[in-house]
Structure 1
C-alpha cells in the first residue's frame, strides 16, 4: 500500500511540475519584428523554441511594433527566441537568445479590446508577439493587442529582454 501511495504522489508531483513548466497552445497569433527608426538592419534569423520563425529580411522600423509578420496557428506559446541580424552601419552581426516570460501565455489569452481613431471597437483580438532589435544589440520581446501604436487601449507588455553578442561582418 505504501508503494502505491508513493507512486501516486510521485505521479501527481511530476504532472504538476510539467504543467507549471510549459505554456499552452495558442489558436492564432501574429509574430513580428521591428527596430528603432533610422536603424536599418538585415534580419538573418528569428526562431522561436527552435521550431518556427519569422521570415528574414530588411527591417527598418519601428521598435515595439510588428513590422514584418508571420501568422501562427495552433502553436505552443514560445518560451524563447533566438535572433541574428546584420547591422551594416556598424558592420556587425549580432546574435542572441531571450527567454520569454511564461506569463505571456496568460496575457495573450486576456488581451483587452482596443479602438480605432474612428471610435470603432475591435472585438476580434489577436495576440501580437513582437521582437525588437536595437542599435547596440538590445533584444526585447513584447506582447500586444495591436500591431503598432496609434490605437486607443493598446497594451504593450514586455515579456523578455537581453543583450546580443556580436562579431565582425567579414
Structure 2
C-alpha cells in the first residue's frame, strides 16, 4: 500500500513539474522590427542588428528617420512569432564622420511582462506592433516599442501607442574599412547631403558600361 501511495505521489509531483515548466514557456508574439538611421545630414549603413545573439534583421542604407517621433524606418516582417527580446547588438557605419560604431544594449528586465500587457491593451487584431532600433550617424542608439492602430481612420494617430525602452546610448567607435562605402559617401557629398569628410579621398565611379563589359 505504501508503495502505491509513493508511486501516486511521485506521478502527481511529475505532473506538477511538467505543468509549471509549461507555464514558464516564454510567450511568442507577431511583431515587426524597424531600423531607423540618420538624422537628416547623418546617413548611415547598418551592417548588423542582432537580437539575443540568435536572430537578426536587415538594415542597409538609411539617411533619415532617427529624428522622427517615433523614429521611422523600413519594417522587417518577422517570419515566425518570437518572444520579446532582451538584448540588442548593432554595428553601423557613419558616412559623415567615416566612423564605425558598435553597441550592446540590454532591454528592461520586465520586457516580457510589458509586451504581454501591451498586447492585451492593444490587440494584434487592431494594432501593428513594432520594435524600433534607432542608429544615428553621430553614434547614438535608442530603442522603442510602438503599436499603430490599423482599424482607425486614415491618419488618425490619437490611439497609437509608443514606449521608450532606451532613450539614448552612445555606441563605441570600432575599427573598420570605410572603402566599401566610398562611392556611396561620394554620392552623398555630391548631392549636398553631407559635407566633405576630413581626409576623405574621393573616388569617381567607373562608367556604367564598364560594369557590364568588364572594362576598367
Cα pair 2:93 2:137 within 8 Å, conserved: no
Residues 110-163 of structure 1, C-alpha deviation per residue, up to 9 Å, x if partnerless? 3538xxxxxxxx95212100001124322111000139x972222221113532
Decide which of 130, 133, 139 is 1:131's aligned counterpart.
133
Q: Indicate the residue corresponding to 2:102 in structure 1.
A: 95
Q: How far apart are the structure 1 equivalents of 2:156 and 2:93? A: 29
Q: Indicate the residue corresponding to 2:119 in structure 1.
A: 109
In the alignment, structure 1 residue 53 sits paired with structure 2 residue 56: yes
Task: List gaps (5 residues or longer) in structure 1.
Answer: 114-121
Task: List gaps (5 residues or longer) in structure 2.
Answer: 1-8, 150-154, 178-216
Following superposition, the deviation at residue 82 of structure 1 comes to: 0.4
Q: Which has the higher strand share?
A: 1
The size of the alignment, in residue pairs, is 149
Larger Rg: 2
Cα pair 1:23 1:105 within 8 Å, conserved: no
Q: How far apart are the structure 2 equivalents of 1:150 and 1:65? A: 18
Q: Indicate the residue corresponding to 2:65 in structure 1.
A: 62
Q: How far apart are the structure 2 equivalents of 1:61 and 1:74? A: 28
Following superposition, the deviation at residue 49 of structure 1 comes to: 0.8
- Provide the aligned C-alpha RMSD in A: 3.2
Q: How far apart are the structure 2 equivalents of 1:86 and 1:150? A: 35
Which one has more relative contact order, counting CA pairs under 8 Å at least 6 apart?
A: 1
Q: Indicate the residue corresponding to 2:142 in structure 1.
A: 140
Following superposition, the deviation at residue 78 of structure 1 comes to: 0.7
Q: TM-score by structure 1 length? A: 0.72
Residues 90-121 of structure 1, C-alpha deviation per residue, up to 9 Å, x if partnerless? 110010111122144235413538xxxxxxxx
Cα pair 1:104 1:143 within 8 Å, conserved: no
Q: Which has the higher helix share?
A: 2
Indicate the SS of the match to 1:75. coil
Q: Indicate the residue corresponding to 2:186 in structure 1.
A: none
1:141–1:107 CA distance, 2 compared to 1 (3 A): farther
